[in-house]
Structure 1
Amino acid sequence: MTGHTIVFWSPVSGTGITSNLAATASVMGLEYSTHMLLLGHCESHDIALKQCFYQTHASREMDMDVSVNMGVDALLRLLQNRKLQPNMIRDYTLPLLKDRLDLLPGSGKPDNRFIDLATPWMEPLLSMAKRMYDLVFVDGGSGNSSDWTNSLLRLADVLVVCLPQNRLAVHRFFRMDELQTMLATKKHVLVFG
């Protein structure tokens, strides 16, 4: 049995993607006994996600403790060397709620460098994570102009679209033909913040 990938994404920035992701995962972790993984894969998403769960000074100390032998960078190395097994993933995470919610530390590399290295490996990594976890929450960021974002949108089993309460932005979103085509075939939730 495999889990589900839930990608939080927005066509525009500043819509609270990471906050919505953290709140949803936290409430589900408290209310349900499912195994969940939070993935803030890129450096910018990872920093924002850690700040939701740790105080700023504790997050800095944690960054010093989390070496290259932990998190998504370590998993990608194992995957590239064909040594990663689903039951190993938990060893590279930080537990937030015991046996319910784990945080996989994001890459220590700059976003563009990480994306270049990880793009061909993201699908097998998510597939492996879904074999270990019931739900894999991913911070998909905003916009839809990069291959990375389009790949995450394609791989999502459920897409959570975070939209602003700006009428112009909402109208623009509903007029984007390629997004509407994708949403017609994909389970999705619209969140207005």
Structure 2
Amino acid sequence: MRGDGLQAGATTVVGEGGGETVRVYVCAPPQDARLFVSALPPGNPRGVEVVSFGSDASTLEQDVQQLGVTVVVVSPQVRNYSDELVARLSRWPDLLVVVGLAPPTGDWARQLTTAGAIDVLRTPVTDRTIDVFVSSVPGWLNRAARMRAGPGWVAALPAQAAQAVQAMGYRQGVWVFWSPKGGAGKTTMACNVAALLGVVAQRKTLLVDANMNGGHVDLHMGVETDTTLASLAYLYHARGELLPRHVQEHVAPWRAGASLDILPGIQRVEQAGEEPLRGRQGQAFVQGLLDVAGRMYDFVVVDVGSSVNSPVHRTVLAQADGVVVIATPDRAALVDTKTTLETLESVMGLERSRYTLVVNMWTDQAGLRRGDITRFVGLSEAGLVPYETTGGMLLAVNTGEPFVLMNLKASDPRTQQVVDALAGIAARVYPPLDTIWQHRGRPVKRKTGLFDRLFG
């Protein structure tokens, strides 16, 4: 708990000086809510007041909206609690802080912060807990406000739009981004589509770096972890089985509140030739990984290397529900794409119905016509991504932040064209994203007085 470092000395007064009172809802078992209610009643002089409480989370979102609260304290021990609820509250369009109230044992603190809680308090609740809570409120509100003001902020959908999205059907599956030629942008494409699915659309998504040439998904996504595809392959080689908990232990969550996990790839090229990833052993591992991950996640997005000589690459391409082939509008890249697809068709029995084409780095000055490209390659077009001329794509890669999340509120029309094109590709995978995309990055609604006090 970050608040543990605060000193519980003199009574803290948040609303001192005429500021707006912070309204709190406590969703916790009665024994945990009791002291919050008695110590912080409406009208108390500390500037933080509990306006309501309950031990059932089924109406929590409705209560938050109707009571106009700014802070929610939620315990995972209440009825109808879910991590998804915390994730939705953490993306509330109004300024809202979600604080977890974790039992003293177990992994609840990590689970709550991963779901989106800004901080965690521990039970049992004591007078010191209340002091730490009140002292921490200004800092929490500042952090929440700054997050909402950032370029990558994605608000939860309005209720009516959320109901419409929920009513839409979609197909779960494994989606592979591949190009027979290096430098086409497949890693960048895979990372951005995964971010759109797991962060913007909040569908449970796993991004896998299965590039045996070294795709560096971890660098693109700003993730640092000791567990990788290679370490998971070694575990499978030793045990002869792959279970969901093995996968869960090896993936890294992208950010708190996002539904996106990352499985980084090999860190050295020679690992691709080691026994766990070589030949039939490598094929069996990849088959097991995609099978298990496909049951754990709504979408598995895979970045795979260009060479079809790798058994890992061939297995991924064979097992995928959909393969997005990335090509650039130059003759050499298109010839490579056409001939490699013909080879896969004759040798591996490629089903062209599972393959679609994305033309990346498109420019009208290339001297090619879109219709000619699709006819030549023999695939239908799933998207056309304009050449990015502002330098923003390179900046995104170098800072480890997906381009689409850095530019949700882009004002430059050149950037907006690229972002919209990437969103269109992701919507081919998950059609409800079209509706979600229309509501992205909505500005936070300022609560009179409170927001001004934070940033005035």
TM range (shorter): 0.7 to 0.9
The answer to whether structure 1 residue 137 and structure 2 residue 301 are counterparts is: yes
Deviation at 1:14, TM superposition (A): 1.2
Contact kept, 8 Å, 2:181 with 2:336, in 1: the verdict is no
Separation in 2 of the partners of 1:163 and 1:183? Answer: 19
Query: What does residue range 179-190 of structure 1 map to in structure 2 within 5 Å?
Result: 179=344, 182-184=350-352, 186-190=353-357
Code of the residue aligned with 1:112 in structure 2: it is: G
Q: Which has the higher contact order (CA 8 A, sep 6+)?
A: 1
Change over 3 Å in CA distance of 1:169–1:72 after alignment to 2:
closer
Deviations 1:109-165 (A, max 9, x none): 523226315333211121111111111111111132333322221111110101111
Contact kept, 8 Å, 2:179 with 2:337, in 1: the verdict is no
Change over 3 Å in CA distance of 1:124–1:13 after alignment to 2:
same
The answer to whether structure 1 residue 115 and structure 2 residue 244 are counterparts is: no
The answer to whether structure 1 residue 105 and structure 2 residue 264 are counterparts is: yes
Task: Say which structure is richer in strand.
Answer: 1
Deviation at 1:75, TM superposition (A): 2.8
Deviation at 1:82, TM superposition (A): 4.4
Identity of aligned residues (%): 25
Code of the residue aligned with 1:188 in structure 2: it is: Y
Separation in 1 of the partners of 2:210 and 2:309? Answer: 18
TM superposition outliers: structure 1 runs of 4+ over 6 Å: none
The 3-state SS of whatever aligns with 2:287 is helix
Change over 3 Å in CA distance of 1:30–1:99 after alignment to 2:
closer
The 3-state SS of whatever aligns with 1:177 is helix
Deviations 1:71-101 (A, max 9, x none): 3234334434145322442222111144511
The 3-state SS of whatever aligns with 1:23 is helix
Contact kept, 8 Å, 1:5 with 1:157, in 2: the verdict is yes
Length-normalised TM-score, structure 2: 0.36
Change over 3 Å in CA distance of 1:51–1:138 after alignment to 2:
same
The aligned counterpart of 1:71 is: 228
Q: Give the gaps of 5 or more residues in structure 2.
A: 1-170, 361-456
Separation in 2 of the partners of 1:41 and 1:144? Answer: 12
Separation in 2 of the partners of 1:43 and 1:164? Answer: 22
The 3-state SS of whatever aligns with 1:182 is coil
Separation in 1 of the partners of 2:197 and 2:317? Answer: 22
The aligned counterpart of 1:84 is: 242
Contact kept, 8 Å, 1:158 with 1:188, in 2: the verdict is yes
The answer to whether structure 1 residue 31 and structure 2 residue 31 are counterparts is: no
Deviation at 1:182, TM superposition (A): 1.8
Task: Say which structure is richer in helix.
Answer: 1
Q: CA RMSD in A?
A: 2.7
Among 279, 284, 290, which residue is 1:126 paired with? 290
Length-normalised TM-score, structure 1: 0.77
